[in-house]
Structure 1
Amino acid sequence: MTALRQPSEERLLAYAAGALSPPESVVVATHLSMRPRTARWVETLQTVGGDLLETIEPAPVADDLLARTLASLSAGNEDVAPPVPANDMTELPAPLRAYELGPWRWIGPDMHVRDVLAPRDGDCRVILLRIGSGRTTPVHTHEGVELTCVISGAYETDEGRFGPGDFEEADGEVHHRPRTVSAEPCLCVVALDGQIRLDGWIGRLLQPFVRL
């Protein structure tokens, strides 16, 4: 699988249709919040999908459905407080500020991970990954699909450089070794299915100590 700067068309179509898993949707939504042009294209897809729904034969509903819906909306408009960010990282894009975060955990020299307490899908979950400037991760592959969106800083692989807003898709066919190339730490949000698998004999020795 080749690294991409934005999600594949198939993944964007699945997102527009609401067919992505919750963890993958969080990472794609983060990317779209940082890439307005791609977000507008996805909105167009959603509009087309809505137009198609208009052609479907309507199903019968209860006679009092409209009255009950309006009543519930009226009841919810009293003393509405502005939304409060759910976490302490005000620098995060809006889709991520809606979720609580776990504590930072050390996974290697100048490398830390933090759980994003978004809905999971089996072993697929969302994490924040922060790697210090000049640091290189061990060569690794993945048990499942890994979706990454860069929030700040930049890293480099054999596929090129990934900076803020860039999106990478990787799976078990990809063996890479990201290296932070920015003067600041590289902060990414990742939808990770399963665990990473470190390559080589050193990787096999370290594997029990690396849990994301």
Structure 2
Amino acid sequence: MTIRHHISDSLLLAHSSGNLPEAFGLVVATHISLCDECRARLAAFEAVGGSLMEDAAPVAMAAGSLAAVMSRLDRRIETPRPVRRLDPRAPAPLADYIGGSLDAVRWRPLGGGVRQAILPTGGEAIARLLWIPGGQSVPDHGHRGMELTLVLQGAFRDETDRFGPGDLEIADEEMEHTPVAEAGPDCICLAATDAPLRFNSLLPRLVQPFVRI
């Protein structure tokens, strides 16, 4: 797998410090699991963060903190069983959200053969899987916030470039595009948004409230 489109430094830094919404964190973690380059960059950010913590001045703990910790030591902790990865198209971070395989996902049709499945993440940002048949386009649209789109299978092209397996497209409020899935294997993507898309045609705008896209 040759990955050409990577995570930005600002997203990696936010991920390493735990400041990304869960939906964006899922996309970033899934990309990192596929990309040696971004995994190495993340390790560098985490090393810098560790050094900063070592040099930080100590902070007094709140009254009763030690007692609260000690009271929890005897509690029984139920360790969740790891989900077995069943599908090579679903890297480990994603597999935990879908039960191991894309074949188990409950897809919802959006029209033109395009399907989606919204994943269970907390917060206002939404993570979804998109299934786009080869040769099919997504309606042209802009963005009211940030959108991360990670390709898991197949490929798509838009006005900016081509995105294949492992590639991550980062879209912001300045971008308008019309993604088109390449002919061949259907394009499956993991995407996250923190605001509704801004569609340019009427029909997508009419159905938008019902499909949460």
TM-score, with normalisation over the residues of structure 1? 0.81
- Counterpart CA distance in 1 for 2:117 and 2:135 is 20
Alignment match, 1:162: 163
What do you get for the CA RMSD once the two structures are aligned? Answer: 2.7
Q: 1:94 aligns with which of 85, 92, 95?
A: 92
- Counterpart CA distance in 2 for 1:83 and 1:187 is 24
- Structure 2, unmatched stretches of 5+, are 100-104
Alignment match, 2:115: 112
- Counterpart CA distance in 2 for 1:59 and 1:147 is 37
Contact 1:103 1:115 in 2 (8 A): no
Q: Are 2:211 and 1:208 equivalent residues in the alignment? A: no
**Alignment: residue pair count:** 199
Which secondary structure does the structure 1 equivalent of 2:51 belong to?
Answer: helix
Alignment match, 1:36: 36
- Structure 1, unmatched stretches of 5+, are none
Which amino acid letter does the alignment assign opposite residue 203 of structure 2? L
- Counterpart CA distance in 1 for 2:15 and 2:155 is 25
- Counterpart CA distance in 2 for 1:90 and 1:25 is 20
Between structures 1 and 2, the one with greater strand share: 1
- Counterpart CA distance in 2 for 1:15 and 1:27 is 10
User: Percentage identity across aligned positions?
Assistant: 30
Task: Report the Cα offset of residue 119 of structure 1.
Answer: 1.8
Alignment match, 1:6: 6
- Counterpart CA distance in 2 for 1:72 and 1:58 is 28
Deviates more, 1:164-173 or 1:59-68: 59-68
- Counterpart CA distance in 1 for 2:81 and 2:169 is 34
Task: Report the Cα offset of residue 143 of structure 1.
Answer: 2.1
Contact 1:147 1:192 in 2 (8 A): yes
Contact 2:7 2:38 in 1 (8 A): no
User: Could you say if the C-alpha distance between residues 81 and 17 of structure 1 is closer, same or farther in structure 2, counting changes exceeding 3 Å?
Assistant: closer
